[in-house]
Structure 1
Amino acid sequence: MEPKQISINEVLRHTMHDFLNNLHLIQMNIDMGRHEEAKNLIRTYSQKCTQFFDVNNIGLYNTNEWIQTFSMAYNKVSLEVQTTLLKRGAERYDSPLQEYLKRFIDTMYPLLKGYQEQILSVHLYSHDVLEVQVELVGEWTSYTWIDESFTDLFRVEKEMNTESRIKFKLIATERLE
């Protein structure tokens, strides 16, 4: 399983397709009298937009692009993103973070087995320092993720590494300004 290369046109097409699908889903719920469900969908889509702007606002532009195009390049894995971004000034961490996340999923993606549910969770947290919690849950051929070839900008804390779950945290070595 190799990740798919994507063009700007494909990104725009995918975005417009998702936008129309989301509007149709909201309209369908309204037509069926399911107003609370329609409101919940609007909240969910609004939260996704807020996360996009939050990640951009702290300076993680390349990382955000990778997050936003993830499902197009890695269609066998679901991505769940959480943000708790309280402080700005993470620009210097952007490219190394995006490269590390890409290297991780590029390594794991070919090892994924069959039609099992594969979920990559990424939680971006910034208070005094930037922390990124990463967890991959699914099924893959036996592999141990040991990539510590990282810049001096982050340290890696391994939390779990089994045949169905890999969990680690990237912690910036310096405080955000």
Structure 2
Amino acid sequence: MSKDWKTVEILSHTRHDWLNRLQLIKGNIELDKIDRVKAIIDEIIIETQHESRLSNLNMPNFVETLLTANWRTLPLRIELEVVSLQHGCRDMDDFMASWIEDLFLVLKESVDDYDENVLAVSIDENKERKIRLSFDLQGTIKKETILRDFLIKPLNENMAAAVCKISSNETLFYIEIDYDDISD
């Protein structure tokens, strides 16, 4: 699933995304819905702030995988939030990029292609120097067993996903990365 993005492909996707946003703004201006225009602009500002914080993670492969996820043919949309983060975890970059790719493959098998599925990814750092990645999957999960089996499998000898909830329409889980205990 990993893709070697060419500059022209990145520019094309980015241009397409911005054109869609501008059309939304223009359409709402023409309908004289100024409050909606302001809300769209605020959403864009917040989204770009999160993307900027994510880009500063010092995990280029992991970040690229997340930032380009919505350009793929996944049956879900990815929403990103970076709450607070002081450090990246460079040593975990390739491992986490590979794991998130595997997660996307499992989600592609697990969710209903014809529903509006959203995976909200929240990244935070706590006082114990751990990066916490929280995932909230909303939508129709048609193959819970495949997803459950993937999530209960340890990521490595020091890490596993903590599954909070799995149901046919929502799955909540998180991963904590401890800087001091990193080993593949």
| Residue 172 of structure 1: aligned partner | 177
**TM-score with structure 2 setting the length:** 0.80
Letter in structure 1 aligned against 2:46: Q
Query: What is the aligned length?
Result: 174
Percent identity at matched positions? 17
**TM-score with structure 1 setting the length:** 0.82
Q: CA deviation at 1:74?
A: 3.3
Letter in structure 2 aligned against 1:10: E
Structure 1 residue 119 corresponds to structure 2 residue 118? yes
Cα pair distance change 1:16/1:143, threshold 3 Å: same
User: Contact conserved, 1:5 with 1:73, CA < 8 A, in 2?
Assistant: no
User: Contact conserved, 2:2 with 2:101, CA < 8 A, in 1?
Assistant: no
| Residue 149 of structure 2: aligned partner | 146
User: Contact conserved, 1:79 with 1:121, CA < 8 A, in 2?
Assistant: yes
Letter in structure 1 aligned against 2:142: W
Offset from partner CA, 1:86-142 (integer Å, 9 cap, x none): 312322232222221211120231233341222212111123310001132322234
The CA RMSD measured in Å over matched residues stands at 2.6
Letter in structure 2 aligned against 1:131: R
Cα pair distance change 1:97/1:167, threshold 3 Å: same
Letter in structure 2 aligned against 1:136: L
Which structure has more relative contact order (CA 8 Å, sep 6+)? It is 1
Give, in whole Å, the separation in 2 of the partners of 1:56 and 1:5: 18
Q: CA deviation at 1:153?
A: 5.7
Cα pair distance change 1:74/1:154, threshold 3 Å: farther
